[in-house]
Amino acid sequence: EDQVTQSPEALRLQEGESSSLNCSYTVSGLRGLFWYRQDPGKGPEFLFTLYSAGEEKEKERLKATLTKKESFLHITAPKPEDSATYLCAVQAIGSARQLTFGSGTQLTVLP
């Protein structure tokens, strides 16, 4: 059974204080790993897809990396507007219809 575990559950940072969110996964064969951002009262917003170990993607202050067991979402010099819940999901080979989601990391960036 595919599993995704995100840590920490919640993270409070001061503005400008860089940190990383972790997504550990167990999947029979990885087709893709997805990162989403979800603001309160909104649906998840797609950020990145990673397909193979060693791959990295960047967008503004966010950088996602992937190994064979986990993915990290690095946040460099965060701003209060980066506050949101960040969700990680995996899609297994042979199960293209299914995304298995983690429970998310709730990030709060204080001014």
Q: Residue from 1, 14, 29, 43 that binds other proteins (CB under 8 A)?
A: 43
**Residue in 15, 17, 45, 58 binding other proteins, rule: CB under 8 A:** 45
3-class SS letters over 33-101 = EEEEEECCCCCCEEEEEECCCCCEEEECCEEEEECCCEEEEEECCCCHHHCEEEEEEEEECCCCCCCEE
Q: Considering only 20-28, 41-49, 53-61, 65-73, which stretch makes contact with other proteins by CB under 8 A?
A: 41-49
For residue 80, the minimal CB distance to other proteins (Å) is 21
CB of 26 to other proteins, least distance (A): 14
Total residues found in the chain within this entry = 111
Residue 34: count of CB within 10 angstroms of its CB: 20
Give contact residues for other proteins (rule: CB under 8 A).
4, 31-32, 34, 36, 41-46, 49, 51, 87, 89, 91, 96-104
